[in-house]
Amino acid sequence: MNVLKTYLSPTRISQPAALTRGQAGKQLEATSLARVIRVFTAWKALLLLVALLAPGPGYDTSTRILFDQYRDVSTATGGWLAKTIEYMVLRLTRWDAIYFATASERGHVYEQEWAFSWLSSHLTSTITRVLLHPLPSTALVKHALAGILLSHLSHFLAVLLLYNLTYLLIPSSPDPAKRHLAFTSACLHILSPAGLFLSAPNGESTFAFLAFLGSYSYAKAIENRYHRFADAYQLDACWTLLAGLAFSFATLIRTNGLLSGLTFAWDLSILLPRLPQILRNRDTETITHLFATLTAGALIAASFIFPQALAYTEFCTTEASNPRPWCHALPPSIYTYVQAHYWHTGFLAYWTLNNLPLFLLALPTILLLLATSLTALSSPQMLLESLVDRRYHATQSPVTIEREGKVFEHVMKRFALPQLVLVGLGTTSFHVQILNRISSGCVGWVLVVGVWTCRGGRVGGVAGLGAGKDVDGKDGGGKEVSEWTMGGVAWREEWGQWIVRAAVVYAVVQGGLYASFLPPA
């Protein structure tokens, strides 16, 4: 536990060991991907231990009853291995995970099951057939285990992507500073308030991986566009299409992936008014960019429509005398209907006195998402200035500095807009408490909090310039400062550390409650 405490210490996360003479290798190790992997492993082990030690069969015995039903038709041989696997899987198959596991085992049968990812169930079903068939467990346990394995793998890949995405976006900084912030951002995602939901057979981890892949691809497209590398517009188009494809798969996992289309809608809003001039001048580069952006947006829209169309053919095209009510709606969306009919969501439907505790539970996440979104949208230059190391800045070409700044501002604004809309929808139209877990798929707040936590990129005595301190993190008189100004607001260094502490405590408590089938979920 002392080792775990050391790796998860907010102070170590936000301020890796100072660089002293002869310790350059140790400095790189302190912020390396290898250490990120160790933090990831330790955190996952802790959460799994919390789940396994949760007392009793759980407040709700739905999972136990369901597992017992499948035992009668299973060809499993039993034994200690089967019991061990079942005990672990039982603790993680709660709430929505029951729907994911059963849909994986037998497909989407009941109407309300279409609220859960069609793609996710097919992925875990394939994993079960290919990899888990020999296990001495019941069919449902193997499908749930496949979901657990997919969640862990997806979360791990999402962490690696976020590390590289952060490193890509940090402008005008030496390598140690880039690694510092990349390490911090990766750890923030590992310690996400989503907690055990990123280990359970749900869609959050897979969504985060695909959303981060789309975000990384989009950032690469913008980097090529502004830096104008050789054949830049062709690379720009390829990365844009890859971003659209990744976001479209994310939308198949969770429908809030549709909000990523706002990124491309924003770009189109700039290009379309210039369309007559673009066509008149036969601007090949801009036409290619426009086509790629339109295609990327269309892929996301198609991924939202596709499962709705599948459900329509199953429920609405038969000769049944009593078709479902949503079949006659415009548009006929099964997802919207089952969310409102079975879970009572809708505009302000959740705004009741009984749900006030859930709003209070989600309030810290709501405030964090709002603060980071508004900062990235209105003051990206403020974040940029806090990242720039002026001593390193002086060694770079002014053209390079300008391009890096444009890439950072462009991308941060596009990341912030879907996140801001998600907060608005979460607080008005669906179960507000799930913001604590679906925020794990938002990259914007992680990047902004990473900047706040690192206090402008200070690493080993080398700092970026925040207002009110010099490159050593001191004021003009040589006194250490723990506060710096961004946009007229004094952000304290301790705030980022408290965010980490709060996320750790919440995730551990939530893990115990989740494993016992207790709210919140």
With respect to residue 329, please indicate whether it lies within any of the assigned structural domains: no
347: tokens are 């505009």
The highest-confidence range among 79-88, 197-206, 392-401, by mean pLDDT, is 197-206
User: What's the mean pLDDT in 275-280?
Assistant: 88
Q: Give the per-residue pLDDT at 341.
A: 92
294: tokens are 């339109």
In Å, how far are 161, 220, 242, 289, 496 from 217, measured between CA atoms? 10, 5, 6, 14, 28
* Nearest partner of 114 among 126, 99, 97, judged by Cα: 99
**Displacement of CA 470 from its chain's centroid (Å):** 34
With respect to residue 510, please indicate whether it lies within any of the assigned structural domains: yes
User: What single-letter DSSP state applies at residue 130?
Assistant: I
* Nearest partner of 148 among 103, 187, 92, judged by Cα: 92
Q: Give the per-residue pLDDT at 17.
A: 43
Q: Give the per-residue pLDDT at 476.
A: 39
Q: Give the per-residue pLDDT at 394.
A: 66
User: Can you give the C-alpha Rg of the chain in angstroms?
Assistant: 24
Q: How far apart are CA 107 and CA 118, in angstroms?
A: 8
Residues whose CB falls within 8 Å of the CB of residue 437, separated by 6 or more in sequence, listed in order: 193, 194, 195, 197, 198, 204
Q: Give the per-residue pLDDT at 209.
A: 98
The number of residues making up the chain comes to: 521
Cα distance between the two ends of the chain: 28
Q: Give the per-residue pLDDT at 16.
A: 46
190 φ, ψ to 5°? -60, -45
* Residue 359, phi-psi category: left (phi > 0), alpha (psi -120 to 50), beta (remainder): alpha
pLDDT in tens, 92-134: 999 999 999 999 999 999 999 999 999 999 999 999 999 998 8
Q: Give the per-residue pLDDT at 178.
A: 87
Q: Sorting pLDDT into bands at 50, 70 and 90, what band is 32?
A: confident
With respect to residue 363, please indicate whether it lies within any of the assigned structural domains: yes
Check whether the bond before 520 is cis (ω within 30° of 0).
yes
Amino acid letter at 369?
L
Q: How far apart are CA 283 and CA 295, in angstroms?
A: 18
What share of the chain in percent tops pLDDT 70?
83
Average pLDDT, the chain: 84
In contact, 389 and 462? CB cutoff 8 Å: yes
Q: Does residue 349 have a pLDDT over 80?
A: yes
| Residue whose entry in the numeric block shows the structure tokens 């179960």 | 431
In Å, how far are 4, 50, 57 from 44, measured between CA atoms? 11, 10, 22
Q: Has this prediction a pTM greater than 0.85?
A: yes
Q: How far apart are CA 31 and CA 168, in angstroms?
A: 15
In Å, how far are 181, 192, 460, 461, 503 from 16, measured between CA atoms? 10, 20, 8, 11, 19
User: What's the mean pLDDT in 265-289?
Assistant: 90
| Residue whose entry in the numeric block shows the structure tokens 């009941």 | 110
Q: Is the dihedral of CA 136, 141, 147, 151 positive or negative?
A: negative
With respect to residue 273, please indicate whether it lies within any of the assigned structural domains: yes
In contact, 246 and 214? CB cutoff 8 Å: yes
With respect to residue 442, please indicate whether it lies within any of the assigned structural domains: yes
Domains held by the chain: number: 1
Q: How far apart are CA 23 and CA 390, in angstroms?
A: 23
Check whether the bond before 331 is cis (ω within 30° of 0).
yes
- Lowest-confidence segment of 195-209, 231-245, 310-324, 458-472 by average pLDDT: 458-472
Q: Which residue has the higher pLDDT, 18 or 59?
A: 59
183: tokens are 């390490």
Q: Give the per-residue pLDDT at 25.
A: 59
Burial of 213 (0-12, 13-18, 19+ CB in 10 A): buried
Q: Which residue has the higher pLDDT, 27 or 259?
A: 259
Q: Give the per-residue pLDDT at 321.
A: 59
With respect to residue 80, please indicate whether it lies within any of the assigned structural domains: no
* Residue 249, phi-psi category: left (phi > 0), alpha (psi -120 to 50), beta (remainder): alpha
Residues whose CB falls within 8 Å of the CB of residue 76, separated by 6 or more in sequence, listed in order: 82, 135, 136, 137, 138
Query: Domain span at residue 312?
Result: 2-17+25-49+149-319+342-515
Q: Give the per-residue pLDDT at 514.
A: 94
Residues whose CB falls within 8 Å of the CB of residue 103, separated by 6 or more in sequence, listed in order: 109, 113, 116, 121
pLDDT in tens, 220-250: 999 988 876 656 678 899 999 999 999 999 9
pLDDT in tens, 7-30: 445 444 444 444 444 455 566 677
Q: Is the dihedral of CA 247, 250, 255, 259 positive or negative?
A: negative
- H helices of 254-393, in order, are 261-271, 275-281, 284-315, 334-343, 356-378, 380-387, 390-393
Q: Give the per-residue pLDDT at 229.
A: 60
Burial of 474 (0-12, 13-18, 19+ CB in 10 A): middle
With respect to residue 77, please indicate whether it lies within any of the assigned structural domains: no
* Nearest partner of 96 among 192, 196, 188, judged by Cα: 196
E-strand ranges in 187-234 read none
93: tokens are 């198959």
User: What's the mean pLDDT in 260-275?
Assistant: 94
Residues whose CB falls within 8 Å of the CB of residue 223, separated by 6 or more in sequence, listed in order: 168, 407
With respect to residue 107, please indicate whether it lies within any of the assigned structural domains: no
